[in-house]
Amino acid sequence: MTFYSYNYLVHQNNNHTLVQLAAIGIIILIIAILSWLWYRHKTDLKYRDLFIIMVLLLLLLVGIQFNEWQTIKNSFNQKSQVTQIMQRVAKEKGVRKTAVWSNTSSVSSGMLIKVHDHIYNVTINTDGNSYTLTKATPIQSTINYVKEGQ
């Protein structure tokens, strides 16, 4: 069983998005160079063909980036809801947010929240505006903790 810290859920990032944005920037630069070469050598069709290939590649990468952006946005919203629940549990139990752990990064009924040595089952109401904590006992005694920076 794996539990994630509050700080891990808040600061989790995606570095591959930066790599894709860098690739898009490089392709835009290549397109600019090829369009200049195509303008300069209008009779040489290889620059036009390379220009078309790069534009298509750019459109493909932009489409992929847009799709991943939507996925990241949904993931961020889920993590935000989990961290809100963790904040409320910390306030309710009178502990710091760093003492609260969650076994998932998405809100769902059946998620577990660990506060010090106690584990609670979180039941989300159907309207999604409230939750209920009930004490739970894990069957598996081995617990892995994922902290910020891992």
Per-residue model confidence as pLDDT tens digits over 84-108: 888 998 999 899 988 899 998 888 8
Whether the pLDDT of residue 128 is over 80: the answer is no
Which residue type sits at 135?
K
pTM value? Answer: 0.62
Please choose, from the candidates 9, 24, 114, 16, the residue with its C-alpha nearest in 3D space to the C-alpha of residue 60: 24
Whether the pLDDT of residue 121 is over 60: the answer is yes
Query: Over the Cα atoms of the chain, what is R_g?
Result: 24
DSSP 149: T
Number of helices (H), then strands (E), belonging to the chain: the values are 3, 6
Q: pLDDT (tens digit, 9 = 90+) per residue, 34-52?
A: 888 888 888 878 888 888 8
15, 114, 119 from 91: Cα distances, Å = 32, 14, 16
Sorting pLDDT into bands at 50, 70 and 90, what band is 14?
low
Rounded-to-integer distance, Cα 119 and Cα 112, Å: 7
Whether the pLDDT of residue 150 is over 60: the answer is no
Sorting pLDDT into bands at 50, 70 and 90, what band is 109?
confident
